[in-house]
Structure 1
Amino acid sequence: MSDTTASRSLYISPKYTVDFWRDLVLDPENPTQDDWIKAIDVLRDRIEGRFIKPAQTLINVDKKRKPQTFGFAILALDCLVLETIEGFRQGVIDHKGRSGGLFASFLSNWQPFKDCVGEGVDAASKASEFYIQGRCALHHSGTTDKMTVGISGPMMRFENGQIFVNRTVFHSELEAEFKRYLAVLADPASVDQRKKFLLKMNPICGV
């Protein structure tokens, strides 16, 4: 991003601009806590404003419709959130060629997903199935033949080669996980996570 007046005034979230980010003093080794709280709020505003709230809006509107058909759109947005959270956790700037690994890492370490997979089942392999049938199928072709997205049952279940997703529970659990990540970043002792957060966020703001 070139350092022009236009680029500095660019909104990186509904509330915050590049200029706001660049004015923050963010040193993980010697944290200025007030500025870190502001930086974390930038990320919260960015992810909630661009993905989580739009998905929740679709859920709320869909409840009033018969039949409820917004499930794939909601799940597609949540897949973006999932990958983005893991990208920040790992400090990955460019996701090209790395999306599958980010999905596998997030899901195989996410307790709600592990609870759905069950004991004795390889969570990483199931995460790969979800990535292929969910994220890739929806984002690349807008359809999937091995996944059903609905509003009942557990967050997710794997059965006879099919994946069944309760999009309402999935969204709620994902939002809770994002809040847990923000809480980690708010802890001054989370030096490594703050460094990785900056690795990804700074290039977005041309830093």
Structure 2
Amino acid sequence: MPFKISKKYFNDKWTDLGLTEDNGDNWAEGILIIKDRFDSPFFNHLDNIKNDEFSGFVIMSIDCLLIETLMQFYLGVDNTEINYSGENWKAFRDFLKQSSHFNTYFKTNKICNVFYQQFRCGLLHQAQTKQKSLIKVCQPDFVILADTTNVDKGLIIDRIQFHQNLVLEFEEYIEKLKTNETNFKGENLRLKAITKMDLICAE
């Protein structure tokens, strides 16, 4: 029985497209489905609350979820464990260091791991950031060290700039699907998207 995978689409709409890497006529519709899969449950709602003074925890929590989900689309996997064997922080490392929208600030494995532990895990498991990490708005750089002598003490992140950069990353992903490009491993993004969406639509 068909079920909804986004606000506009049921799962059979995707499966009926019968997508392959190069059947371009159907890819325009396929990309709209993928975009709505992200927009309707996530990005659209975040737009509605982004100006609320106390929305930082919600926005950063969902941004972390979106990073992990985008990585699953990039790699064509059902869950992050498949590629990272219990070291899920490495998925965030690969995302943050490979993205042109984040890698200016996330240059080292250490800073990526601090983000994963103190933001992703802190927010999703304990509803708080850890150590001295903070979520702020209106700071000049979107990531600064809480203690300039010790990255382990935490990060101070401007959640508006962080989210804007994540939106740019997603928009870039959509454009790469349109032009049939590869991921950071040199693997075809359309084929990976087909694998991920087939898993979603088969559930």
**TM-score bucket of the superposed structures, by smaller chain:** 0.7 to 0.9
Is residue 12–residue 46 contact of structure 1 (8 Å, CA) maintained in 2? yes
Match of 2:168 among 169, 172, 176: 176
Residue 103 of structure 2 corresponds to which residue in structure 1?
Answer: 114
Q: Alpha-carbon deviations, 1:68-98, whole Å to 9, x = none? A: 2211111001111111111111112122435
Q: Note the C-alpha offset of 1:114.
A: 2.4
Cα–Cα, structure 1 residues 41 and 99, in superposed 2: closer, same or farther, change >3 Å? Answer: farther
The number of equivalent residue pairs is 188
Structure 1 runs not aligned, ≥5 long: 63-67
- Cα 1:94–1:189 change in 2 (3 A) is closer
Output the CA distance in 1 between the equivalents of 2:105 and 2:181: 32
Deviations 1:99-140 (A, max 9, x none): 3221111011123322224xxxx5222111101101111000
* Contact 2:180/2:189 (8 A) holds in 1: no
Which amino acid is 1:103 matched to?
A: F
Give the aligned partner of residue 65 of structure 1.
none
Task: Give the TM-score of the pair, scaled to structure 1.
Answer: 0.84
Q: 1:162 and 1:188 mapped to 2: Cα distance? A: 38
Change in CA separation of 1:125 and 1:189 when aligned onto 2, cut-off 3 Å: closer
Gaps of 5+ in 2: 148-152
Tell me the equivalent position of 2:20: 27
The change in CA–CA distance for 1:89 and 1:189 in structure 2 (over 3 A counts) is closer
**Equivalent position to 1:141, from 122, 126, 140:** 126
* Preserved contact between residue 52 and residue 77 of structure 1 (Cα < 8 Å): no
From 8, 13, 21, the equivalent of 2:6 is 13
**What's 2:92 paired with?**
103
* TM-score normalized with structure 2 length: 0.86
Contact 2:118 2:154 in 1 (8 A): no
Aligned to 2:150: none
Confirm whether residue 76 of structure 1 aligns to residue 61 of structure 2.
yes
- In 2, the alpha carbon distance for the partners of 1:157 and 1:112 equals 16
Q: CA deviation at 1:56?
A: 1.8
Please give the root-mean-square deviation of Cα atoms over the aligned residues, in Å: 1.8
Is the 1:33–1:188 contact (alpha carbons within 8 Å) kept by the matching residues of 2? Answer: no
